[in-house]
Structure 1
Amino acid sequence: MKKHYLLLALTVLLFSACDSGKKEITISSDVYHDSMEKLSEVIVHDIFSPPVASRIYAYPSIGMYEILAKTDPAYKSLAGQLTELTAIPEPTEEVSYELAALEAFIKLGTNFIFSEEKMDTYKAELFKELKKGVNKTYFNASLAYGDQVAEHILAWADGDMYKQTRTFPKFTVTDDPTRWQPTPPGYMEAIEPSWSRIRPFAIDSATQFVPERPTPFDMTVGSPFYKEVMEVYTVGNNLSEEEKEIASFWDCNPYVMNVTGHVMAATKKITPGGHWIGIVKIACQKEETQPMKTAAAYALTSIALADGFISCWDEKFRSNLIRPETLINKHIDEEWLPLLQTPPFPEYTSGHSVISNAAAIALSSIFGDNFAFDDDTEVKYGLPIRSFTSFIDASEEAAISRMYGGIHYMPAIANGVTQGKALGKYVIDKVSLKNESIAQKED
């Protein structure tokens, strides 16, 4: 009997010792940045298309924001502000909201990618350090709450039509000389022709920001459209070194096909949305933002990016306009090649122009209209740092880069800028991050 009581006492002591530790976990914004960068790395590895990548960024960012917003009364939940998003559950135990937010972000991000093991390995190494000296029950309860919120966000994501669009028919290419045709070297099929069916986050519908109609197709010499085609050809043949650098800096093609003889290999790069997610990190680190503001910046920017792709892709497959490369090769110079590889989807409007300006408006609403920064996002891809006086300055350079790259006519760029800015303005007007009455008192 004494041995039984002694064994019971030792067991209780052992569990008590394992459960001892501090009940506080401090997670810096750098940990959230590193986790986002890891997600970007896997998105590049798995070669997700730009529209799909924007969805992958949005849901984890929103989940992270929703948890952290519970820690700061100056910030508002996005429930009821984003389409069909309901309030996340409350924790039933004492938890670290910062750890729960990190867990939710990683769990959500892992759910949307292919190479789950890469995120699993990252998480195991990260959490091994975070749990040192921390009360075990508290740590596990925080993870459980993060998982609970992630499941709530996943249930919301499940209703956005993404899974259904995986089964929709592929885009049909016709012989119509005005319509988009696959381009060399890969002659890839059109990417995400049904993306306009994806449920928007903040905008009312995919058709809310339909741009002006593209210039009527007419390859008669001297016609307005012919002049637009010739502008792409002329600019492409007379690029300065600076213009070439700008085009390459904003290329952001996730799958560039390189052909040498009969050998074809791919170069993987970050998506346009991924580039702007990188700019979020740059802005946050320059201002040394705390986790709450960091999460707000990622959430609002990712919402603008995701809705920007939905709006732009709606127009792309409505106008279904042929790319410059196809027309120049057929009517002007069969040997001509654009500086950048032509992306596999219709021309109008320019995706970079739309999403870059939407993201710039979102970031300006958080950091200000004249936030200067050095953009080193593309350094890992062998490109130099570029400096900008504002987010709009960067977005407008991203837009014109598509002319330098030889892949867009000017109306797609100019009207895409207008489309993106209008969408971005709508997003920041509709999505309120701050509880203004509290924020004003704090100021």
Structure 2
Amino acid sequence: MKKFGLLSMLTILLLSGCQKKDAYLTVLKDPDNIHHSMKQLSDVIVHDIFSPPVASRIYVYPSIAAYEAMLPAYPDYKSLAGQLHGLTPTPQPDTTRTICFELASVHAFLKIGTMLIFSEDKMKEYQKNLYAKLKPTMPSDVWDNSLAYGEEVAAHIKAWMDGDNYKQTRTFPKFSITDEPSRWKPTPPAYIDGIEPAWAKIRTMVIDSSSMFKPAAPPAFDMTEGSEFRTKVEEVYRVVNESTPETKAIASFWDCNPYVSHQTGHVMFATKKITPGGHWIGITNIACHVAKADFPKTVEAYTLTSICLFDAFISCWDEKYRSNLIRPETVINQYMDENWVPILQTPPFPEHTSGHSVISTASAIGLTSLFGTPFAYTDSVEVEYGLEPRHFNAFLDASSEAAISRLYGGIHYMPAIEFGVDQGKKVGELIVSRLEMEKK
């Protein structure tokens, strides 16, 4: 009996030691480590007031780094090397060392994310606090090996990232304003210059080029009575003037304008808001929680959504600065009603096509490919900005509402919305058809 008791005790101690040693396997597989890191990145993007196109770049590279770093632990997932323009195979890990690839994934995400924002201290403080919780769960050698592999993957992604023409576009001249009646002009109250006029020069991820899905042109500028263009302008004017509490709520929910300015006397200040891409990253978070997505599925979802956002913004911005169309606010003030103001503040770039229509549709198609349809969820992304949550039964229902919100808000004509939805549909469908993330 004594021998049996001693043997049982040794067995329990051995198992207990193994469980403690391997505790990190459970802790690090928690997808909240990625969710919280992404939320921190979103918060910093809002704080630093990045433009919607630039924000899409800040989301995509950390997501791809996280995805590539986790792959050695998940053989059912396929590398994006050779699938994304210019991305070469990621360095493979040293198989003689024990590595926690979930930690490597989080570390690669944070490493790249910190490179892309201004408030590095906020990301570093978050990382410090997160690692203080995670490190005690893991043997020191595994910890060091995992961070080292995350660094290696991040360095590889950074080298690829640096070739996307972003740095070169920082040196391009500002957008030139002309007196031509149809052309975009800065709008009140801040009269900000057109943002990112050269964004079409950024290297795409999946689509062949920025102009691959060139949408139909907007109606020709013509403010004579009965013209197609004037009819579209009058539609915006009427919809805003006859707005209801529901249309106002929809417009506000999908505003996502990081440039909202307020003027009191001679003092101007800004209200910080999440970008359109940030809203869809938030929807991705919600979808993962509803679907109870595990660590790899969560990373896949963020990666696919961010790729859809990135290419959709490039496609949209290519058309914006090609058609260079004047905004409803400018036209209505000049030709119809000098005191008219839209429900939403007009963002600082040309009108056609609608950014939310393009990027929301592309993102919705990406999410639908992962989680299916119908997919009921409550969108609470804007609650922290003082707005009520909204319920949707499918991602494409949400993207349709996001698109029409631009008419309700008075900042887009219907052609920009309709053609933008079609443009986003083509971008999203191509990405989903070309990318193979889960091995078949």
After TM superposition, the score normalised by the length of structure 2 is 0.94
Residue 160 (str. 1) matches residue 164 (str. 2)? yes
Q: How does 1:53-202 map to 2 (within 5 A)?
A: 53-92=55-94, 93-202=97-206
Partner of 2:391: 387
Residue 29 (str. 1) matches residue 25 (str. 2)? no
Partner of 1:52: 54
Q: Distance in 2 between matches of 1:24 and 1:332?
A: 65
Partner of 1:398: 402
Aligned residue identity for 1:251: D
Aligned residue identity for 1:32: I
Greater displacement, 384-393 / 133-142: 133-142
Aligned CA distance change for structure 1 residues 166 and 222 (closer, same or farther; 3 Å): same
Partner of 2:438: 434
Q: Distance in 1 between matches of 2:356 and 2:251?
A: 11
Greater displacement, 20-29 / 322-331: 20-29
Q: Distance in 1 between matches of 2:259 and 2:348?
A: 10
Contact 1:23–1:135 (Cα < 8 Å) also in 2: no
Partner of 2:278: 274
Aligned residue identity for 2:269: A
Per-residue deviation, 1:68: 1.7
Note the alpha carbon deviations across 1:11-38, whole angstroms, 9 max, x for none: xxxxxxxxx9558443201111010000
Greater displacement, 84-93 / 292-301: 84-93
Partner of 2:239: 235
Q: Distance in 1 between matches of 2:373 and 2:175?
A: 40
Q: Distance in 1 between matches of 2:73 and 2:142?
A: 17
Partner of 1:350: 354
Per-residue deviation, 1:290: 0.5
Q: How does 1:414-433 map to 2 (within 5 A)?
A: 414-433=418-437
Per-residue deviation, 1:79: 0.5
Equivalent of residue 267 in structure 2, options 244, 253, 263: 263
Note the alpha carbon deviations across 1:315-373, whole angstroms, 9 max, x for none: 00000000000000000000000000000000000000000000000000000021111
Instruction: Find the residue that maps to 2:145 and give its secondary structure.
Output: helix
Aligned CA distance change for structure 1 residues 148 and 327 (closer, same or farther; 3 Å): same
Note the alpha carbon deviations across 1:25-75, whole angstroms, 9 max, x for none: 432011110100000000000000000000000000011111222222221
Q: Distance in 2 between matches of 1:378 and 1:283?
A: 15
Q: Which runs of 5+ in 2 are unaligned?
A: 1-19
Partner of 2:320: 316
Contact 2:404–2:417 (Cα < 8 Å) also in 1: yes
Contact 1:64–1:295 (Cα < 8 Å) also in 2: yes
Instruction: Find the residue that maps to 1:301 and give its secondary structure.
Output: helix
Instruction: Find the residue that maps to 1:132 and give its secondary structure.
Output: helix
Contact 2:24–2:137 (Cα < 8 Å) also in 1: no
Instruction: Find the residue that maps to 1:422 and give its secondary structure.
Output: helix
Per-residue deviation, 1:407: 0.3
Equivalent of residue 344 in structure 2, options 337, 340, 344: 340
Note the alpha carbon deviations across 1:113-154, whole angstroms, 9 max, x for none: 000000000000100110114211110110011011001000
Residue 210 (str. 1) matches residue 214 (str. 2)? yes
Identity %: 59
Q: Which runs of 5+ in 1 are unaligned?
A: 1-19, 437-443
Aligned residue identity for 1:61: S
Name the Cα RMSD after superposition.
Answer: 1.0
Per-residue deviation, 1:159: 0.2
Equivalent of residue 361 in structure 1, options 356, 365, 378: 365
Q: Distance in 1 between matches of 2:224 and 2:387?
A: 40
Note the alpha carbon deviations across 1:176-200, whole angstroms, 9 max, x for none: 0110000000000000000000000
Contact 2:69–2:149 (Cα < 8 Å) also in 1: no
Partner of 2:43: 41
Aligned residue identity for 2:91: P
Partner of 1:17: none
Q: Distance in 1 between matches of 2:137 and 2:221?
A: 68
Contact 1:244–1:405 (Cα < 8 Å) also in 2: yes
Q: Distance in 2 between matches of 1:174 and 1:199?
A: 28
Instruction: Find the residue that maps to 1:44 and give its secondary structure.
Output: helix
Aligned residue identity for 1:325: E
Partner of 1:326: 330
Q: Distance in 2 between matches of 1:21 and 1:425?
A: 45
Aligned residue identity for 1:35: S
Aligned CA distance change for structure 1 residues 23 and 143 (closer, same or farther; 3 Å): farther
Contact 1:47–1:254 (Cα < 8 Å) also in 2: yes
Instruction: Find the residue that maps to 1:183 and give its secondary structure.
Output: coil
Q: Distance in 1 between matches of 2:138 and 2:437?
A: 32
Q: Distance in 2 between matches of 1:144 and 1:21?
A: 20
Q: Distance in 2 between matches of 1:145 and 1:372?
A: 38
Q: Distance in 2 between matches of 1:24 and 1:211?
A: 50
Instruction: Find the residue that maps to 1:131 and give its secondary structure.
Output: helix
Greater displacement, 88-97 / 399-408: 88-97
After TM superposition, the score normalised by the length of structure 1 is 0.93
Q: Distance in 1 between matches of 2:344 and 2:236?
A: 12
Q: Distance in 2 between matches of 1:256 and 1:310?
A: 23
Equivalent of residue 414 in structure 2, options 402, 410, 419: 410
Aligned residue identity for 1:318: R
Contact 2:24–2:134 (Cα < 8 Å) also in 1: no
Partner of 1:15: none
Aligned residue identity for 1:295: V
Contact 1:202–1:307 (Cα < 8 Å) also in 2: yes
Per-residue deviation, 1:287: 1.0
Aligned residue identity for 2:406: R
Instruction: Find the residue that maps to 2:231 and give its secondary structure.
Output: helix
Q: How does 1:287-306 map to 2 (within 5 A)?
A: 287-306=291-310
